[in-house]
Amino acid sequence: MSAPAAIRIEALHRRFGDLVAVERLDLEIPAGQIFGLLGANGSGKTTTIRMLTGLLAPTSGRAWVAGIDVVAEPEAVRRRLGYMSQRFGLYDDLTVEENLRFYAGLYGLVGEPGRARVEELIAGLGFTERRRQLAGTLSGGWKQRLSLACATAHRPAVLFLDEPTAGVDPAARRHFWEVIRGLAAGGTTIVVTTHYMDEAERCERLAMLWRGRLVAVGTPAEIEQQLGAPTLEDAFIALQEKDEAA
C-alpha cells in the first residue's frame, strides 16, 4: 500500500448507553480503494460511517478523512466527503433535476458551473427523460441512482455508501457497481456496506465487523483465510452462528 491513507481510524469507539456499537476500531483505507464493510444487522456499520461523516460524535478515539480530523474539523471534512444514507435522503416532492440542483447548490455549485454539473450528472446517469419526474415516483433502482448522483455532485474525495443496493434489482445493481468502479478509477475512495456477498467480492478490501468489533480485514481471499472458511458467505455465516451461540 503505497498510496496515502484516505481514511485513518484509531481506536474509534461509540457507546449508546450500555451498548457498545463500535469497539475501539482501527483501520486504514488507502486513496482510490473500494473498501467494503461487512457484518450482520446491528454489527456497527452504520454507526462507523456516521462517525466518519461527522453525524455522530465518537465516544473516544480519532479518525481522519482526506487527511482532516473528523472530530476537530467536521465542516472542513464535509466539503470533501459524499454520503449516501440507508434511506437515500431524497426529497420526494422535488423532481430529479431539482434534487440535483439543490444538493449541488449546497456545495456552492451555483450559477453556470452548477448548471453544467447538473446537466453532466443528468446525462451521465441517464436521467434525461426523467429529469422532470418527482423523485418520489421513481422506482427503487432510479432512486438509488439519483441518490448517488446527489452524493457525488461536488466530486467528493471520499464517498460513503450505506447499503446502497438494498432493495434494488440485479440489473440496477450491476449498473451501480460500474459507476462505483468508474469513480474509484478516477481516484475517489469508496467505503461501502452491503449484505450481498457478490458485492463484497467486488471490493478490493473488506472489514468484517461482529458486534462492533473488527474480526477480520483484508482482501476477500484473505478474509476467507483468516476466518477459515471456503467462501465469504461461509465466513459470514460462521460469524453469525458464533453470535447465536454466544
Q: How far is the CB of 166 from Mg ion (least distance, A)?
A: 9
Of the two residues 59 and 133, which places its CB atom closer to ligand ATP in the complex?
A: 59
In SS3 terms, the chain reads as CCCCEEEEEEEEEEEECCEEEEEEEEEEEECCCEEEEEECCCCCHHHHHHHHCCCCCCCEEEEEECCEECCCCHHHHHHHEEEECCCCCCCCCCEHHHHHHHHHHHCCCCHHHHHHHHHHHHHHCCCHHHCCCEHHHCCHHHHHHHHHHHHHCCCCCEEEECCCCCCCCHHHHHHHHHHHHHHHHCCCEEEEECCCHHHHHHCCEEEEEECCEEEEEECHHHHHHHHCCCCHHHHHHHHHHHHHHC
- Answer with the entry of Mg ion, ligand ATP, another protein, none that 183 interacts with (C-beta below 5 to 8 A by kind): none
The piece of 98-106, 180-188, 197-205, 223-231 that touches another protein (CB under 8 A) is 98-106
Q: Kindly tell me which residue out of 33, 43, 46, 152 binds Mg ion, with binding defined by CB under 5 A.
A: 46
Of the two residues 46 and 194, which places its CB atom closer to Mg ion in the complex?
A: 46
Of the two residues 83 and 127, which places its CB atom closer to another protein in the complex?
A: 83
Q: Which residues bind ligand ATP (CB under 6 A)?
A: 16, 19, 21, 39, 41-47
Of the two residues 112 and 129, which places its CB atom closer to another protein in the complex?
A: 112
Residues that bind Mg ion in the complex, under the rule CB under 5 A: 46
Contacting positions for another protein (CB under 8 A): 50, 53-57, 74-75, 78-79, 81, 83, 85, 87-94, 98, 101-108, 110-111, 150
